[in-house]
Amino acid sequence: MWWRSIFLVLGTGWLVLGWLVSCGPTTPPVQGELVILSPEASSEDATAATEASPSDAEPTVSNEPSTAEPALSEATPDASSRPEPGPEPNEPETSGPEPGPEQTTGPEPGPEPGPEPRPEPPAPDRAPGNAWIGEACTQDSDCNVPNARCLRSQDSYPGGHCTQPCTSTCPDKTGKPVTFCIADKSQKGHCVSQCESDPCRSGYTCLLRSRFNDASKLKKVCVPASTTPGTSVTALYIGDSQSSGTNFAKLIVDYLRNPSNHCTNAKTKGNTVFSYAKVSSASRHWSELSGSSKNWLCGATKVYTNGTASSNTTGSKLCAGITNQSKSIFQKLVAQHQPTTFLVQLGGNSMGFSESYVKSRITRMLDQMPNGSTCFWVTPSFSSSKYMAQRRDIEKWTKETLKGYQRLTCHVLTSIDEVSRQTTCSSFNSSDGLHMTSCGSQLWGRIIIQKLCAVAQH
């Protein structure tokens, strides 16, 4: 039965061969074949798979056998369970739904490109680096001026202001406004444009200013306009011969009426001014309630008003209604005009009187000013050496009196030292050594106005 043995051996071999085939190694997935993770696979495994295969690169084929058994009994997953495909190269990525805790995301998109920068607009009406004195600028290099400086908007110069330092004069240029050298806020000279015939540009106003280091030279120039709305006040100005139709008086009246014509930081404009000046008068004549000093002023044939020689009144008109009353001429003027600001230019005719007498008459005039008044007192100025010691005494006594007065503040305005250094006028005093020449009177007025601009709350 040999054929039965052969058949038994062949059948057993086929069984062994079949068993070996069924137990062979699992074939790894080929490139492009979908790998399905079983529910037991962790999210870390999914993340690792995603990070190992960036969306914009070719998928990597693993040479390792899969450790997760395929769930052949489950249906093919839908697109929501697959990792989102990354953006195509050079195309912006579109935002999809926020991934759940078990989902993975592709690489984060880069920053979106910003808007293209806009070119700076050209400077209006001029080429860069060609601005002249008084014209607009944003930096020094905008100005075509030697030793150029651009005074900027943050320094209260609207739109910028080209200038250069100066000590007396400034350069001029054909086709441009004539220039002028004035003091700036720090009392240093700088160039500005004149407005005698050319209007000022927007943000600037035309004011009368004196030349730096030469108060007798006056020109209308363009300076930054005040940002403070102006209000008006009423001022009373009392003086002696130095205020009787003189250049000094004209300047002081003009200042009191419109401080903004002289000061860049003025807060008042269009003020009402009443001025009265009598040759040889002193505080005793204006403030005496009765007696010879009052009677002397009441009998005057000419009292200058408004700072000019052509405008005047008489003492009898001043004293009408108070001749037989215990009331001073000054008190009557205060009641008549209701001033809130006072400027007194007196003292030259108090020389020769005692210190106590002079101080008492100054005090009496202060007593007749209402509470809350603004007061300025101009002391005698430079004279010949014959009278200088006495003028120094009057200046000293006035300063001491005003300093010690408690009810109101009265600013003292001196000028002897400033005038003694002047070189503007060949002769400051006239031949009598007391009064001033026309040039001297003009210079004195400019010096006092500069001091008024420095101390006054206009």
State the pLDDT at residue 435.
95
CA distance linking residue 151 with residue 134, whole number of Å? 10
Q: Is residue 4 scored above 80 in pLDDT?
A: no
The answer to whether position 424 is within a domain reads yes
Look up the domain containing 183 and give its range: 140-224
Indicate whether 180 belongs to any domain. yes
Is 62 part of any domain? no
Same structural domain, 216 and 291: no
Whether 336 is in a domain gets the answer yes
Indicate the pTM of the whole model: 0.55
- 394 is a domain residue: yes
* Higher per-residue pLDDT: 181 or 456: 181
Please tell me which of 102-106, 107-111, 208-212, 286-290 the model is most confident about, judged by mean pLDDT: 286-290
Distances (CA, A) of 368 to 278, 312, 339: 19, 24, 12
pLDDT confidence of residue 181: 93
For residue 36, pLDDT beyond 80: no
Q: Is 358 found in the same domain as 259?
A: yes
Which is nearest to 193 in space by CA: 212, 175, 216, 172?
172
User: What's the distance, Cα to Cα, between the start and end of the chain in Å?
Assistant: 145
Domain count, the chain: 2
Q: Are residues 421 and 278 in the same domain?
A: yes
On the question of pLDDT at 20 being above 70, the answer is no
Segment 367-376, tens digit of pLDDT: 999 998 999 9
Ramachandran angles phi, psi of 208, nearest 5°: -85, 120
| Same domain membership, residue 207 and residue 242 | no
pLDDT tens-digit series, residues 112-128: 554 555 444 444 455 56
Give me the pLDDT at residue 242, please: 96
Encoding tokens for residue 83? 């990792």
CA distances from 434 to 151, 316, 324, 354, 441 (A): 44, 28, 35, 20, 12
Answer whether residue 415 is part of any domain. Answer: yes
Residue at which a domain ends, from 224, 245, 266: 224
Domain finish residue from 224, 259, 275: 224
Residues 296 and 217 in one domain: no
pLDDT over 80 (residue 279): yes
One domain, residues 317 and 377: yes
Residues 6 or more apart whose CB falls under 8 angstroms from that of 195 comprise 177, 206, 220, 221, 222
Co-location of 166 and 256 in the same domain: no
Q: 5-14, 335-344, 417-426: which has the minimum mean pLDDT?
A: 5-14
- If one compares 186 and 1, the residue with the highest pLDDT of the two is 186
Please check whether residues 188 and 241 belong to one and the same domain.
no
* Tens of pLDDT, residues 126-184: 556 899 999 999 999 999 999 999 998 887 899 999 999 999 999 999 999 999 998 87
Q: How many CA atoms lie within 13 Å of 446's alpha carbon, on the beta-carbon side?
A: 25
pLDDT band, residue 220 (cuts 50/70/90):
confident
Residues facing residue 238 across a β-bridge: 276, 344
Q: For position 390, which CATH number holds?
A: 3.40.50.1110
Is residue 81 a part of any domain in this protein?
no
Specify the pLDDT at position 187. Answer: 67
Based on the fold, state whether residues 342 and 407 are members of the same structural domain: yes
CA-based nearest residue to 289, from 252, 326, 260, 255:
326
Question: What mean pLDDT, rounded, does the chain reach?
Answer: 78
Q: What is the mean pLDDT of residues 249-262?
A: 91
Q: Are residues 205 and 330 in the same domain?
A: no
**Which domain-ending residue is among 224, 254, 273?**
224
Q: Are 244 and 238 in contact (CB under 8 A)?
A: no
Do 173 and 292 have their domain in common?
no
Confidence of residue 208 (pLDDT cuts 50, 70, 90): confident
**Which of 117, 120, 95 has the alpha carbon at shortest distance from 106?**
95
Q: Give the list of residues 6+ apart from residue 263 with CB closer than 8 angstroms, or none.
A: 452, 453, 456, 458
Given a contact cutoff of 8 angstroms between Cβ atoms, the answer to whether 344 and 402 are in contact is no
Q: How far apart are CA 106 and CA 257, in angstroms?
A: 80
Residue bearing the bigger pLDDT, 308 or 429: 429
Cα–Cα distance for residue pair 399/402, rounded to 1 Å? 5
Q: Residue 238: what pLDDT? A: 98
| DSSP helix/strand/coil, 294 | helix
Looking at residue 274, what is its pLDDT?
A: 92
Residues 435-454, mean pLDDT to the nearest whole number: 94
- Within a domain: 413: yes
Same domain, 170 and 244: no
Beta-bridged to residue 231, according to DSSP, are 268
The model's confidence at residue 232, banded by pLDDT at 50, 70 and 90, is confident
